[in-house]
Every structure is written in structure tokens, then in C-alpha cells.
């Protein structure tokens, strides 16, 4: 593995670093960021919280805006943030902000021209963790979280493979992408026009499957929503997530906040709550 370091900054006694590497499942160069807390610098293998960002973001948005490093340093948790899509020359794209580069939706595309590069689910759940656990002082204890499109990504990763993670959380997640315009546009392009093909990538559909699987132990799940979020009713569809969790018996902790919107001001306001939530299980 040829990891090329892009930048390195000391932060709260640990190090925030950005790397570039060749991603085999995406067939392109990818960037990711990692924050290693002070505990990792003394030889201790620390657990990892994987953060998935939203539409138009890169690995930099969360690391620069969320203010998570201070609490991660206290708790001894590494933070790993991938980019939100494949990028580069030859990678399929679209002029709109909600499809193509910056809008990978953390799924594995099956349709041309997207399938050659847009295998983001395999990247964030397999290839990137393998790199992190091989080359950095971390353990195999993992949690996953994200915002908006990244909240959708975190939920589907945890629900598809609950054994890979200790806990899952999300800020303003796109909860029912099969039923909202953002999700329908992306799924039609990446997966094809038949809605049955979308169910594997929809958190509400995945939750409902657990009604018939009582042997599966649910992961702790925390969701944060701002009630002044302009996307709340049409795009996020949190009510559908509540109903799906209730019907399957999956324990969901949902916190709703008056006055908060969809921005990183909202994420920064409650990121400490989420880090402490994950620390209980990591």
C-alpha cells in the first residue's frame, strides 16, 4: 500500500492527517482523513469512529467544522473520514450537486457508467477499514456515524452488517431514500429504475427485515434531527424511520431540537453527545 501523506496538523495532543491512496474497488485515487488521539501515539490501539459526510462534502468538512477532535482526544477514539465519492479524470459525473462526484450515496452502483468507480459501500466498509487497521495504531472496534447522505450511509452499513460495528448514529439522515427525490434520482442512476433493487440500500426497508430475525442483536442507534431543517419532511423522512424501527423492535434513540437546521452548526452542537454515546460501546 502506497499511502501518500497530504498534510499533518497537531490537535489536542493528537494528530490530524490527510492521505491519498489508490483505491482498488473504486479504480481511482482517493483521499481520507484520520485523527489519532494522544492515546494512539503511546502504542495503545484505539477504537475507530468512521464518519460519512453528506452531499457536496469531502473528507475536510467534518474535520474542520464539527469540533470533534477535543472530545475524541479525551475519549481515546480515532476518527476516520473518507471522501463522499470517487473523483478524478475518467470518473463518471453529472452537472447537478446530488449525483456523481460528491454524491456517491455509499452504495455499490450496478449501472453504466457508474459501476466502474462508484462502489462506495465496499470502500467504506471493507477497503478503507482494512487500510486503517493495517497501517495505524487502531483496534477492530468500530462505530459509524454520518450526516445527511452520510447518515444514510452509516445506517445502511450498520443495518446490513451489524456485526462489523458496535454502535451507529446519524445527524439528519436521509432515512427513506426510496421515497424521496434525492434518493430516487441517485438510485435510478446507480442501481436502475426498478424500486425492488433499491431496498438493499434503504434504512427503512432494512429495518423492517428484522421483524423476522429475532436472533439478530440490534445495535445501539442514536439519531439527531433539527426541527428547522428545510429538508426534514421531504428528503429526510424521519417519521418513516421511527415507524420502521418500532415495527421491527429496533431500539432507536431520537433527539429533536427546536431551531436547529441542516448545517454543521447543528452537527457541532451535538457531536460531543454522539462521541460519548459511541464511547460507551467502543
Residues with catalytic roles: 148, 229, 262
Does residue 256 contact residue 151 with C-beta atoms inside 8 Å? no
Our CA dihedral for 240, 98, 127, 281, rounded to 10 degrees, sits at -40
DSSP letter string, 211-256:
GG-TTSPPPPEEEEEETT-TTIIIII-HHHHHHHHHHHT--EEEEE
**Euclidean distance between CA atoms 100 and 148, whole angstroms:** 16
Is the link from the previous residue into 224 a cis peptide, with omega within 30 of 0? no
What's the residue count for the chain?
Answer: 282
**Euclidean distance between CA atoms 241 and 207, whole angstroms:** 8
Q: H or E element: which one contains 18?
A: strand 14-23
Amino acid at each position: 500500500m502506497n499511502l501518500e501523506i497530504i498534510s499533518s496538523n497537531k490537535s489536542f495532543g493528537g494528530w490530524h492527517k490527510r492521505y491519498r491512496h489508490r483505491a482498488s474497488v473504486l479504480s481511482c485515487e482517493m483521499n481520507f482523513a484520520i485523527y489519532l488521539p494522544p492515546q494512539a501515539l503511546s502504542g495503545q490501539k484505539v477504537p475507530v469512529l468512521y464518519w460519512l459526510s453528506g452531499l457536496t462534502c469531502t473528507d475536510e468538512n467534518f474535520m474542520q467544522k464539527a469540533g470533534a477532535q477535543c472530545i475524541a482526544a479525551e475519549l481515546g477514539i480515532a476518527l476516520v473520514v473518507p471522501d463522499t465519492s470517487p473523483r478524478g479524470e475518467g470518473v463518471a459525473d453529472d452537472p447537478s450537486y446530488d449525483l456523481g462526484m460528491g454524491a456517491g450515496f455509499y452504495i455499490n452502483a450496478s449501472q453504466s457508467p457508474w459501476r466502474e468507480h462508484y462502489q462506495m459501500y465496499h470502500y467504506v466498509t471493507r477497503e478503507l477499514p482494512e487500510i486503517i487497521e493495517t497501517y495505524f495504531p487502531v483496534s477492530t472496534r468500530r462505530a459509524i456515524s454520518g450526516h445527511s447522505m452520510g447518515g444514510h450511509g452509516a445506517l445502511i452499513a450498520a443495518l446490513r452488517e451489524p456485526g462489523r460495528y458496535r454502535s451507529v448514529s446519524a445527524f439528519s439522515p436521509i432515512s427513506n431514500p426510496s421515497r424521496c427525490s434525492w434518493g430516487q434520482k441517485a438510485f435510478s442512476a446507480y442501481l436502475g429504475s426498478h424500486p425492488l433493487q433499491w431496498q438493499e440500500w434503504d434504512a427503512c426497508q432494512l429495518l423492517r427485515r428484522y421483524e423476522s430475525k429475532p436472533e439478530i442483536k440490534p445495535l445501539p442507534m442514536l439519531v439527531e434531527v433539527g426541527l428547522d431543517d428545510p429538508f426534514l419532511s421531504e428528503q429526510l423522512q424521519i417519521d418513516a424511520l421511527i415507524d420502521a424501527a418500532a415495527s421491527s423492535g429496533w431500539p432507536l434513540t431520537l433527539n429533536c431540537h427546536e431551531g436547529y437546521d441542516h448545517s454543521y452548526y447543528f452537527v457541532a452542537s451535538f457531536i460531543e453527545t454522539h462521541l460519548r454515546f459511541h464511547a460507551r460501546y467502543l
